[in-house]
Amino acid sequence: MAHKTFPVEVLTPEGKAFEGEVEMLSTRTNTGSIGIRANHAPLMAILDPTELRLYEEGDSEPTKRFAQGEGYLQVVNNTALVLVDEILDPDNLSKSDIESRLKDAEAGLESAEEDSEEYRRCERNVRRYKAFLEVAEGS
């Protein structure tokens, strides 16, 4: 039995990263992993850095994959909108570059004053680069 598709739009501050019909969207929210299919109940969620997977009709493997930064997911009226601060093609990720950025973020975290904005920024960057490293290693 074929599953229905629904429109998905992925936006970053730089513009549209994806627009199309998918059978399923898979990502991670701040409460855990989630899969969205057609006719999903309305939802608003905060997204954590992870691998965003988009499955087109009939595909058992993701058709489109992205390294996704922090953002938001809105599902309403059988459409999904993914708003993220950064999205990268896994094929263009440099493992050594991400490892270097992760080391810098960890060093910044160690030197930042706890409860400061700098500390929170470094914490977010550590999570982001660890997630991006997982995506790069899975490519």
Same domain? For 111 and 44 the reply is: no
pLDDT at res. 81: 98
Distance (Å, whole) CA 137 – CA 87: 16
CB 62 within 8 A of CB 103: no
Contact 99, 133 (CB under 8 A): yes
CA distances from 14 to 11, 17, 78, 84 (A): 8, 8, 25, 10
* CATH code for the domain of 42: 2.60.15.10
Domain limits for position 110: 93-138
Same domain as 109, residue 72: no
CA-based nearest residue to 57, from 10, 21, 8, 7: 21
Q: Is residue 11 part of a domain?
A: yes
- Give the pTM: 0.87
> Per the structure, how many domains does the chain have?
2
Per-residue pLDDT tens over the stretch 69-106:
999 999 999 999 999 999 999 988 899 999 999 999 99
Residue 67 and residue 20 in one domain: yes
